[in-house]
Amino acid sequence: MTTVSHLYAAVADDLALVEDTLSLVARSDFVPLETMLTQVLSRGGKRLRPAISLLAGGFGDYDADNQIPLAASIELLHTATLVHDDVIDASDTRRGESTANASFGNPASVMLGDYMFAHAAELVARTGHIGVIRLFAETLMVMAKGELAQDVSAYDSASGTMRDYYVRIHGKTASLFATAGAGGAMMGGCRAETVEALREYGRSVGMAFQIVDDILDFCGTEEQLGKPVGGDLSAGTLTLPAIVLMERQPDNNPVSHFLDANGEAEQARWLEASLHAIRDEAIIDHCLQVAWEWRDRAITALHESTEDGPRPELTAIAEFITQRDF
């Protein structure tokens, strides 16, 4: 069975140094801040984004002194967005543990996320690479726009189009994966075609990753997800499985009824009906096919550069994220 540790074997030592960097970020002479940082940064996770960044650097002249701060900044930026997401969504748990806002309250959590954004910017500035610093800033803007798009479109059935969905998940998820690929290559001094190939790899992997997450939101268990099943739809967010159902039943589907429902009892009834309908094997299979198409685009992108690098490892990551349990 493939594990994350096997996928990252080629950059395991430097990924450990990324973890050390994040541990240093958590240290502060202000005890409440250190407590909050330790809670959100000690949970680990798959570390996909920093691993992709480090591996992408292997297509050029790899310099750990610059690649490690970049990879750490990418993971710190990702974690900061999760802190803010949990505030926006009023989430009490993530990965089965209490969120920062549940532990420390919304105002403190917002400031915690802001502090982490600033620290991530400081880490990427250590590289001294203007192009990568600019890329980092642009990515933060794109991610913020993606989160805003999700927030303002909540409970809006008109936003349930494939185009809206792709734009939204590119902003909130795939853009940072793209930056991991392109940033690592840029830091390694790769040619423009290699940078673009790894940007497209990261973007496509990120799209596949988010689609799989959105499938799991309906098909997983609360224990697997670390949060309630169907949480996205419950918050009024239309993801691929719900959109596919709406497209196949445009005139009478439980998702539309849920979005238009009045009162908690009616909402709960239509939410349960939506979950049951979306778990239909044909809908899930279709969504998986879409995820696999993005995976294949990612793998194809790896071969659009003539420079050598760790293609097998990046290919394995793309395959791994679309083989999670359903």
User: Is residue 43 very low, low, confident or very high in pLDDT (cuts 50, 70, 90)?
Assistant: confident
> Within the chain, how many helices (H) and strands (E) appear?
18, 2
Q: How many residues does the chain have?
A: 326
pTM of the full predicted structure? 0.95
Tokens describing residue 305: 């550069």
From 130-134, 149-153, 244-248, the region with the lowest mean pLDDT: 149-153
User: Is residue 2 very low, low, confident or very high in pLDDT (cuts 50, 70, 90)?
Assistant: low
Residues 12-37 have pLDDT tens digits of 999 999 999 999 999 999 999 999 99
Question: Taking 60 as the threshold, does the pLDDT of residue 245 lie above it?
Answer: yes
- Quote the pLDDT of residue 88: 85
Question: Does 326 reside within a domain?
Answer: no
Whole-number CA gyration radius for the chain: 20
Question: Taking 70 as the threshold, does the pLDDT of residue 257 lie above it?
Answer: yes
Question: Does 214 reside within a domain?
Answer: yes
Distance of CA 64 to the CA centre of its chain: 24
Residues 202-241 have pLDDT tens digits of 999 999 999 999 999 999 877 777 677 899 999 999 999 9
Question: Taking 70 as the threshold, does the pLDDT of residue 1 lie above it?
Answer: no
Mean pLDDT (the chain) is 93
H helix runs in 170-280, sequence order: 175-187, 192-219, 222-225, 231-234, 240-248, 254-260, 264-278
Question: Does 299 reside within a domain?
Answer: yes
Tally of structural domains, the chain: 1
What sign for the dihedral angle of Cα 81, 83, 85, 88? negative
Domain hosting 32: range is 4-321
Residues 266-304 have pLDDT tens digits of 999 999 999 999 999 999 999 999 999 999 999 999 998
Question: Does 208 reside within a domain?
Answer: yes
Question: Does 250 reside within a domain?
Answer: yes
Q: How far apart are the first and last CA of the chain?
A: 16
Tell me the mean pLDDT in the region 131-157.
Answer: 94
Tell me the mean pLDDT in the region 130-152.
Answer: 95
| Domain CATH code at residue 91 | 1.10.600.10
Question: Does 257 reside within a domain?
Answer: yes
Question: Does 180 reside within a domain?
Answer: yes
Q: Could you give the CA distance from residue 50 to residue 69 in angstroms, rounded to a whole number?
A: 10
Question: Taking 90 as the threshold, does the pLDDT of residue 317 lie above it?
Answer: yes
Q: Give me the phi and psi of 305, to 5 degrees please.
A: -120, 140
In 3D space, the residue among 322, 72, 84 whose CA is nearest the CA of residue 212 turns out to be: 322
In 3D space, the residue among 28, 12, 150 whose CA is nearest the CA of residue 81 turns out to be: 150
Question: Does 287 reside within a domain?
Answer: yes
- Quote the pLDDT of residue 66: 96
The helix (run of H) or strand (run of E) holding residue 109 is helix 106-125
- Quote the pLDDT of residue 325: 58
